[in-house]
Amino acid sequence: MATGHKTSSPPSKSSGAPRPAHTTRTSPPIADTSDDETVDTRDTRAAREAQPAPERAIRRPDVTDVWRAQEVIRPHVAHTPILPSRTLSAMTGAHVSLKAENLQRIGAYKIRGATYKLSQLSEEERARGVIAASAGNHGQGVALAAASLHIPCTIVMPVAAPLAKVTATQGYGATVVLHGDNYNEAYEHACELAASSGATYIHAYDDPDIIAGQGTVGLEILADAPEVEAIIVGVGGGGLISGVATAVKALKPSIRIIGVEASGAASMRAALDAGRPVTLPAINTIADGIATKTAGSLTFEIVRDLVDEVVTVDDEEIIHAVLLLLERCKLLVEGAGAAGVAALLSGRLDLAGKHVVAVLSGGNIDMNLVGKFIQHGLSVQGRYLVIHTLLPDRPGELLRLLTLIAEQHVNVLDVAHHRMAPRLPVQQVEVVMTLETRDRAHCETLLELLRARGYAVREEEPAFALESGSHLR
């Protein structure tokens, strides 16, 4: 068990986790009537944000900012549970718990940063409205926070954004504009709209207030799982892991912070390797919530300085994690939210015997995609089998084959007959069968039996194999 820094006072009930002895609250109150200008008041923030972007240095948040954010968002954001998982613990050898941010009102942690950021806007800024680019979850967070504060809101989303996220964002009262093939193209269009309309742009991750708000996830983990020794966080632009690392490393620096990216969109890993943020030429992943071509400048600095390790997982591993969480843990989690669990299951992390918390960052997955994940995942696990065979075209032959299959406790899902194939022998029919099996061993046993009984059986293979660079966005 990691002990971290000792504190000189017991945990505060309102804080959610112990404050370090050397930390004092020098930040001003959040109320609109505040006249304390000792640290970053709204006037100084407005003056700073009015400067051209290349000349303006973004202030890096610290743990005090995260404490401040926690006090502001507490009435509006759920304190999500940490759920121990015996299944994942047994599979990985670690003591695994899950921080269920998928149970937030919008189904993702993004409501934290959005609520805090919008609470800091001046009345003039609120009147002009806000605009954001989002693959889905950030948009929902900004839309809900804007609705609660009566702020006009526009969200720009990629054309291929999941329907569930588009519909939910509209349901919170935001105007949704679909533009571009990915987050970065939506971001560029949103910036153009912000410049022409005068609305305040709410960045998805590269903003100190956003990062501070997301960091409250870390405070809750420390409060609810003080024995934690490692925290695993999915990484897209880096806002969540930057906030968590900012809070946790200030309070218990011995805790390992591990980031996980989709290998098809590993912009933070590329930035760390290059020593600066870089733009990936293309991205390709089913985890749309972390599909970002470029890591943030501010988040890159924080990750570089505070995060212990950043690893990647592929889409197959993410799909496997989504299905495992659904089937064994009864939790519906989107691809981005399952990235941390995918890394745990991959065996790339040396965490045996450690107390680990994986953050399930979101659960906003399109139901059609869930169906595709299930079908694909079951096929990979050998729980679906598609076979081709030839039968004499006479009565009773299909029944004989089906009886043999049924004796092996295999369920038949679909049967198709083909009589018109160019190279099909005369008086024979090709039968294509989709079968439901227990696992790959069950498949192999059935195939061996059918061949032993004289059937020419071929297992169906993909019509073509995708190269690693195919269908990149």
- Sequence-ordered list of residues with C-beta below 8 angstroms from that of 183, at least 6 positions apart, any chain: 133, 134, 135, 158, 204, 291, 292, 293
pLDDT in tens, 58-107: 789 999 999 999 999 999 999 999 999 999 999 999 999 999 999 998 99
pLDDT of residue 384: 86
**pLDDT score of 123 more than 80:** yes
Strand-pairing partners, residue 232, are 258, 358
* 41-64: pLDDT as tens digits: 334 343 334 333 343 457 899 999
Which runs of consecutive H residues, i.e. helices, occur in 183-290?
183-197, 208-214, 216-224, 239-251, 267-274
- pLDDT per residue over 243-299, tens digit each? 999 999 999 999 999 999 999 999 999 999 999 999 999 999 999 889 889 999 999
pLDDT band at 388 (very low <50, low <70, confident <90, very high): very high
- The model carries a pTM of 0.77
Q: Rounded to the nearest 5°, which phi and psi values hold at 391?
A: -130, 145
Instruction: Give the three-state DSSP class for 411.
Output: strand
CATH topology of domain 382-459: Alpha-Beta Plaits (3.30.70)
Helices (H), 149-182: 163-171
CA 206-207-212 angle, 5° bins: 115
Whether the CB-CB separation of 120 and 145 falls below 8 Å is answered with: no
Nearest to 239 by CA among 289, 287, 288, 274: 289
Residue boundaries of the structural domains of the chain = 80-110+208-374, 111-201, 382-459
**How far is Cα 175 from Cα 170, in angstroms, rounded to an integer?**
6
pLDDT averaged over every residue in the chain: 85
Evaluate whether 80-110+208-374 and 111-201 have a shared fold.
Answer: yes
CATH class, domain 80-110+208-374, is: alpha beta
CATH number assigned to the domain covering 111-201 = 3.40.50.1100
pLDDT, residue 342, reads 97
Question: Per-residue pLDDT for 30 more than 60?
Answer: no
